[in-house]
Amino acid sequence: MSRATTALACLISSIALTIATATPAAAAAADSSDWDYVALGDSYSSGVGASGQSGICLRSPNGYPGLWDKANDPATFRSVACSGATTDTLRSSQLSALNSSTDLVTVTIGGNDVGFASTIITCTLSSDSGCAAKVAEGMKKLKEQMPAKFNATYREIRAKAPNATVVVLGYPILFDENAPSCGFAGMSIPKRKSINAGAVELNKAIKAHAQAAGFRWSDVSDEFAGHGICGPSPWLHGLTVLPPTDSFHPTGTGYQSGYLPALNSAL
């Protein structure tokens, strides 16, 4: 097995194929020092790709929830986000962290549901047409299965945290589509375009369902514009051998300069 295949097979991905601005569902206190903040979601919420990851969920204080906590010093902060989380595992294992006193909830979720890790593996190892077919498979799931899953997830978040402002964040568009070369085991331009198109559709779906639930949506694609994988100034890891779990996740700069401002703009 090649190093590229090994790294890809080890991915615990929670990103999108990747990749929600509504009216606030509930008004939070004006002073964030009074807030009780809970972070839910997948590896993009747990902070995979940043330094300081620990535990089976690979949580890092340098992901965007931890950075927001450090900058705003809320009354309480708890992250139950976990690498590899899906809407089903979020509902079964993370919602117990919420209650009627929760003031702020943030969440990224949905990328794993549509099979991002397997898509990245297929796109790296197969042809351009094989990659496009795999992305189409994920988009079929997005259309047929994810509406009910998103609606159930958002409904249960609101039931558990009836007084919270809930911010749903999207996923970056992963790849620069113009660079002719994409490094070690890099994607061709047609593959990058297929994956990016899938991310756009995923974000559209998340946004629609988050806004229908009365949650705030924060689209991070503007913050990450010009900083895709293969580009001259990437804020996302490409294929990473050590540790492989960092692959296709934001760098520390991506969380600090991409996700954190996107969250702040929603608040």
Q: How many CB atoms lie within 10 A of CB 163?
A: 15
The one catalytic residue in 13, 14, 32, 43 is 43
Which amino acid type is present at position 106? T
Integer Cα distance of 165 and 19 in angstroms? 22
43: annotated active-site residue: yes
What is the spatial order of strands in the sheet that 36-41 belongs to? 76-79, 36-41, 104-108, 165-169, 216-218
The one catalytic residue in 209, 227, 237, 249 is 249
Integer Cα distance of 46 and 204 in angstroms? 22
Integer Cα distance of 97 and 103 in angstroms? 12
Q: 3-class SS at 154?
A: helix
Inter-axis angle of helices 128-144 and 116-125, to 10 degrees? 160
Catalytic residues: 43, 249
